[in-house]
Amino acid sequence: MEEKRKKGVNKFIAFLLIAATVVSVVIFAASGNEPDGNHTNQPDSSLGATNESQNNNTPPPQDSGNADEEPPENTAPKDEEPPVVPTFKHTLTGLDITEEEKTSNAFGTVIDPSSLSYGLSYADIAIEFPIEDGTTRMLFFSSSVDTIWKIGAIAPTRDYISSITAYWGGVLVANGCDDSVVYSVDEDISAVLDISKHADCYYVEDGRCIFTNENLINIAFNRTQLALDTHGYKSAPYIFSEGEENHGIGGANRITVPYSDTNITSLVYNETTQKYTYHKNGEEKVDMLTGQSVSFTNVFVLFANSTTYESSSSRETVFDTSSGGKGYYISSGRQVEFTWSAESGELVFRSLSGEVLEVNPGNSYITYYKASITSSILVQS
């Protein structure tokens, strides 16, 4: 009996093993795989996604291939770098400008700096001259003629003022000439446009102040054959430093230029802008065109010989702008002495050691002042 019972148990165990094997074969057959221990029980990607991946909109697993292979090179087009725009240096300011700005026209305008001014904040160079009655005239040069839609108020010139264009270039625009004596100048003064001779090229405000603009200037130029595009700037009388020029004596934060008791120009240094703000008789000068303060990076005082001509009916002071002399260069709160001369018709500024004066890039204010009273110029901290 015992032997029969053992045989029965063995048969039952064998049956269970056979049944388990059959079930395993059926499961593997249903999944598309063979019962090979070398494969994991994963769905074949060639048969599509499993029900779970379909329900979740998840793509079926993909064969990653050889893990040692490098990823394919990205052939998508790269963003092209923007073209490099060439830059140039402005002849008179040393600042970066575009090629279009480099070829811009240059012109000078004579104004009365004591009156309201339009366009003065665009000055590349502004030059102030004292005249015999204690007032001054200012000649400012700008290459932004296409930007200044109102220019003035335009004042009369003098021959020695007009002759300055031979040094700087450009064409000078003035409201006539009020020389009261006859004298000679060495420089060419042919590039002068007397706007008063072209009644339709200016307009009058307040009964006496005359103004103009780019379009009116061009009309007058075409009539007189003074082609503006042929009168660009000449070379500057100085060179520009690569960095900030810090030579000289410190404490030059305020320059006072007394032309008379009732006409005093002051230039006050602003450490934030690193420029000298122009003041006339204690009031900060504002360009009525832009609402901006008139300011300059560099200040030059040129001491020059002068002659006063008197007659029973007139009196006129004429400055010698060609014989040369000494001067002060002031920038960034510092002062340097230098010499100036007009060599072969070209204005040159030199250091006391003889090299061409090195200055900071930026616009400049220049004044001619009587060499006989140099001590009247005050430079203060």
How sure is the predictor about 73, in pLDDT bands with cuts at 50, 70 and 90?
low
Position 245 scores a pLDDT of 59
Position 311 scores a pLDDT of 80
Average pLDDT of span 43-67: 47
Q: Which residue has the higher pLDDT, 10 or 365?
A: 365
Taking a C-beta distance cutoff of 8 angstroms, is the pair 297, 360 a contact?
Answer: yes
For residue 65, is pLDDT > 60?
Answer: no
Taking a C-beta distance cutoff of 8 angstroms, is the pair 50, 43 a contact?
Answer: yes
For residue 248, is pLDDT > 70?
Answer: yes
Top-confidence range, 18-22, 35-39, 144-148: 144-148
Q: Which residue has the higher pLDDT, 214 or 109?
A: 109
Position 267 scores a pLDDT of 98
Least confident of 100-114, 153-167, 365-379: 100-114
Average pLDDT of span 76-90: 70
**What is the C-alpha to C-alpha distance for residues 126 and 197, in angstroms, rounded to an integer?**
25
Position 104 scores a pLDDT of 66
Question: For residue range 269-296, what is the model confidence (pLDDT) as tens digits?
Answer: 999 999 999 999 999 999 999 999 999 9
For residue 47, is pLDDT > 50?
Answer: no
For residue 79, is pLDDT > 50?
Answer: yes
Position 45 scores a pLDDT of 43
How sure is the predictor about 349, in pLDDT bands with cuts at 50, 70 and 90?
very high
**Residue carrying the six token digits 């595009």:** 229
Position 369 scores a pLDDT of 97
How sure is the predictor about 54, in pLDDT bands with cuts at 50, 70 and 90?
very low
Domains of the chain: 96-380 (3.50.90.10)
Share of the chain above pLDDT 90, in %: 48
Position 51 scores a pLDDT of 45
